[in-house]
A and B are shown apart, each in its own frame.
Chain A
Amino acid sequence: MKRTTRRLATALLVVAVGAVVLVAAGSGSRAKSQVSAGGTYKVGWEQSFGFTDNMDPVGEYLAEGFAIQTSLLDRTLVGYNHVPGAAGNKIVPDIATAVPTPTNGGKTYTFHIKQGVKFGPPVNRQVTSADFLNEMKRLASPKDGQEYGFYYNVIKGFASGKGKTISGISTPNASTIVFNLTQPTGDFLYRMSMGATSPQPAEVTKCFEGQAGKYGNDLISTGPYMIQGIDKVDISDCSKITAAPGYDGTSKMILVRNPNYDPKTDSTAARQNFPDEFDFLIDANKDDIYSKVAAGEFQDEISSPPGQVLEKYYTSHSPLLKQYSGDRTWYLTMNLTAPPFDDVHVRKAFNFIMNKNALVQAWGGPAIGKVAHHIVPDTLFNNQLAEYNPFATPGDKGSLSKAKAAMKGSKYDTKGNGTCSASACHNVYLLADTRGQDLKMVPVIEADAKKIGITFKVHSINGAYPTLQTPSKNVPIGERPGWGKDYADPLTFFTPLFDGRNIIPNGNTNYSLVGITPAQCKTLKVKGNCTNVPSVNSQLDKCSVLIGQPRLTCYENLDKYLTGTVVPWVPYLWSTATHIIAPNVTQWSFDQFSGSTGYAHVAVK
């Protein structure tokens, strides 16, 4: 009897467990099948697109523009998988059959074009090497609106040909294109992943020569989507071309499926193309955008959430709040020629005394990002520098004892007690901006500096960048700046910021004047102490020719050298890229390359 009961119990248990397993499997697959093709993915965009070149890839430098190009409209020779993290920064083939390794000592790159990659309507033909050359020429021609042409000066004859010819690009046949560089360039493949290198048909672009941006209204697609109505545009003659109705430049951009896109020439790892349509809609009212997202009328947003909205999603740990590394560093910049910051002891002490935690609080707290410990965000180094924090203090709150210890030996420590006591330490000009976060940061900076004897005279300017970017204004310290990557290579964080040869009289981005020479000081009217200003020019040149891990290691060492030895900055915040999505979004991905939504992988119910 007992045996029968036990057998019965076991049988029942087996059945029960089996049922549970079946139910779990069923709901699992049900969950999977919830992600399906179809629907319209609507994005609420605040106030105005803000495109730099109206979505003409040759000059579009806006991050949001990149996000749309790379996922939906403009395929390039090589590209990305549009996912977060290090995987999202990895170069993969897109129109090219494979990612080439350079030959000729790193100076020659040969790409082969996949068959079956066609232009969308109304062009309707296979993409050829001539189409790539056409776009490179547009990129070389200043009057067509290009903004980052300087990345391609490494191609032979690019700069000198002025857009008419490029001797360094050859097209032996319709499906092969060869790039010859002036020197080995480790990040050349990244440069070829930018939208400005995507192929464009000359029969259409010729109609827009010299009219920067206008082509954006009639952009011919190579991607899975195209501008609504572009198929009806008459391109038989330049005089007949009208703007595609789906994109009006100021209030909406509607993208529908490109019938000429062949998924077999692509990979689902890179693009899944679930929605039938993408609507990017301008909305004048920020609160309205987030209301609509919560109600499911928008799926996504391009804006920045108001404090309370962010707070609500953050504290409730809502899965609809998407936050990823923004690959952007916010920092206080110190002028290496201006007292008292011309003394490295002072700069180090400043790094130790700053309550970086409080500065992040001024921005809105941990929801906005985390404390930065060095110059380049960790994702760009594949987290290899994650432990590097030369000015560590408990809780990132600053440490008076460490600061004083660092100050000792400074020529401004006249009293020998670890504080900045010379007259140069008092009423130092601090340049601040007037955004909400700037107003909150200034008191923190002032209070902390006072602890080591530095007092500030604060100048608040609405739109402080132009002042900061003018060396002749001799700004000793500025609290405004932030810098984000152009593509996933540390070069984009060093060359514009620390190359002494790049210092220009207006629009200068090397605010700290690292590597400036006395001769430059004279021409640029820099009044400070220009003798023996540290320079990293040779290291920059060394790193730029390397590839692979050696390149990364080289730049990592450069970061360490700059952060800990040259000390031009007090980095304090690595801000997150934040998106709030609607409840009816069934799949969402972050695109690490552009720092925005990976539209290639979103799905809506």
Chain B
Amino acid sequence: MLIYLVRRILWAILVVFVVLFITFLVFFKLPNGDPALRFAGKTPTPAMLDEIHHRLHLDKPWYIEFGYFVKTFATGDQYGWPGLGYSYNSFASVKSQIVYRAPRTLWLIAGAATLWLTFGVAIGVLSAVKRRTLVDRLAMGFALFGISAPVFWLGLIALYIFWRTLHWTAGTGYTPIAQGPGQWFSHMILPWVVLSMLYTAIYARMTRNNLLETLGEDYIRTARAKGLSERRVIFRHGLRASLTPIVTLFGLDVALLVGGAIITESVFNLQGLGWMAINSATQQDLPIVLGVVLCTATAVAFMNLVVDIVYAFLDPRVRYS
């Protein structure tokens, strides 16, 4: 088990390194022209360009440039750790911007992920157990709806009904939890539900299919032959074995939302990391885009590691391979 863990950690570090390299190529090397111009924002003055050239070591050979890039990222710069540089468009360090916006994105993901995992799996199990009955068809119909309904449409409808008409929740925007948990919750509940809809649907279908497949396995027959209650057979034996692909998918889904929940963040005016990335891209604020890309990629590598570890706990066969 220890060897397995060590191997996976090393892999994760390698992945982050490769991501850094590709990002470096894409942002620094591949496009034509002076990288400093791209980093300097909308009003590049010669003094600014000089400073950027110096700070990013743009005049050195590419491997030294890359080396500093990695070193700054790993050990931090004058703005803190990780070292992500400075944005001339926003007049602030990239790290401070990310730190300011990360909590709302993370809360969004945490809430939505809890919802979709609970309800998705529950609906999937219900569907599988009551296969081909009305319950199953309704559940799968809901799944089709959840997958088809665009997030922005769901979001606007939800806002109209629950905020504008019924006044049950607060409208768009974000209140940090420290400033009022009630208000924070009121702002977050609609984005949580709306964002989780699509995933609930996908996970419900996936759970249903996996579980049905698992329930055809021999060890399920053994479990029944032992005289176990049907509930125990479904959950402890059936669901347990079906979880591994779900866990893998979950890790990836969560990681990608770190920089990817753009539509939800826009519709609900949460102004999280994804929204900031898009906004910065259209304003040609390269350092911020670079920062968010790196954060998302690192999140993916990290979540993959977490998934690998959870996988090993779930399926003992993996630990010894």
Contact = CB atoms under 8 A, between A and B. Distances in A.
Given A52-B42, A143-B45, A212-B45, A285 B268 contact: yes
Interface string A276-287: 000001111101
B91 A214 contact: yes
B90 interface: yes
B92 interface: yes
A212 B276 CA distance: 22
A295 interface: yes
A291 B164 contact: yes
Nearest to A49: B90
Contacts of A243: 92
A47 B279 contact: yes
Interface in A48-75: 48, 50, 52-54, 59
A143 B47 contact: yes
Given A48-B283, A249-B91, A142 B265 contact: no
A217 B172 CA distance: 26
A216 B88 CA distance: 13
A65 B97 CA distance: 22
B100 A248 contact: yes
Contact of B91 (A217, A288, A291): A217
Interface residues of A, number: 33
A230 to B, nearest CB: 15
Contact of A213 (B91, B164, B279, B283): B91
B45 A142 contact: yes
A532 interface: no
B90 A249 contact: yes
A292 B171 contact: yes
A163 interface: no
B48 interface: yes
B159 interface: yes
A288 B43 contact: no
A216 B265 contact: no
Interface string A458-480: 00000000000000000000000
A250 B90 contact: yes
B92 A248 contact: yes
A216 to B, nearest CB: 7
A147 B45 CA distance: 11
Contacts of B268: 285
B156 interface: yes
Greatest chain A CB density within 10 A among B100, B171, B269, B275 is at B269
B156 A284 contact: no
A251 interface: yes
Contacts of A213: 43, 88, 91
A118 B93 CA distance: 32
Contacts of B105: none
B46 interface: yes
A263 interface: no
Contacts of B270: 284
Contacts of A287: 156
A145 interface: yes
B47 A249 contact: no
Given A48-B279, A212-B48, A284 B171 contact: no
Contact of A249 (B45, B92, B156, B266): B92
Given A145-B45, A212-B43, A288 B269 contact: yes
Contacts of A250: 90, 92, 97, 276
A59 B92 contact: no
B271 interface: yes
A283 B45 contact: no
B267 interface: yes
* Residue of A50, A143, A249, A250 with most chain B CB atoms under a 10 A cut-off: A250
B91 A145 contact: no
A249 B283 CA distance: 14
Interface in B44-102: 45-48, 88, 90-92, 97, 100
Contact of B164 (A47, A212, A281, A295): A295
**Which secondary structure characterizes the binding site on chain A?**
loop
Contacts of A48: 279, 283
A39 interface: no
Contacts of B275: 284
A251 B271 contact: yes
A212 B51 CA distance: 13
Contacts of A52: 42-43
Interface in A258-310: 281-285, 287-288, 291-292, 295, 297
Interface residues of B, number: 29
Contact of A284 (B45, B46, B265): B265
B92 A284 contact: no
A210 interface: yes
B43 A59 contact: yes
Contacts of A212: 43, 45, 48, 88
Contacts of A217: 91
B51 to A, nearest CB: 9
A281 B175 CA distance: 13
A60 to B, nearest CB: 11
A217 B96 CA distance: 14
Nearest to B172: A288
A478 to B, nearest CB: 23
B271 A282 contact: yes
B36 to A, nearest CB: 15
Nearest to A283: B269
A214 B100 CA distance: 18
A533 B271 CA distance: 52
Given A54-B91, A213-B91, A284 B266 contact: yes
A212 B43 CA distance: 9
Contacts of A288: 159, 171-172, 267, 269
B125 to A, nearest CB: 36
Contact of A210 (B47, B90, B271, B279): B47
Contacts of A59: 43
Given A284-B265, A297-B171, A145 B271 contact: no
Given A48-B283, A145-B43, A216-B91, A291 B171 contact: yes
A284 B264 CA distance: 10
A287 B171 CA distance: 12
Contacts of A143: 45-48
Contacts of A282: 271
Contacts of B97: 250
A283 B270 CA distance: 8
A305 B88 CA distance: 30
Interface in B188-230: none
Nearest to A291: B164
28 contacts: A48-B283, A50-B283, A52-B43, A54-B91, A143-B48, A147-B43, A212-B43, A212-B48, A212-B88, A217-B91, A248-B100, A249-B91, A249-B92, A250-B90, A282-B271, A284-B266, A284-B269, A284-B270, A285-B268, A285-B269, A288-B159, A288-B171, A288-B172, A288-B267, A288-B269, A291-B159, A295-B164, A295-B171
Interface of B: 42-43, 45-48, 88, 90-92, 97, 100, 156, 159, 164, 171-173, 265-271, 275-276, 279, 283
Given A47-B279, A48-B279, A284-B275, 14 more contacts: A50-B283, A142-B45, A217-B91, A243-B92, A251-B271, A281-B173, A283-B173, A284-B267, A284-B269, A284-B279, A285-B269, A288-B159, A288-B171, A291-B159
Interface of A: 47-48, 50, 52-54, 59, 142-143, 145, 147, 210, 212-214, 216-217, 243, 248-251, 281-285, 287-288, 291-292, 295, 297
Q: Which 8 A-B pairs have the closest CB atoms?
A: A284-B266, A143-B47, A284-B269, A54-B91, A288-B172, A249-B90, A283-B269, A143-B45
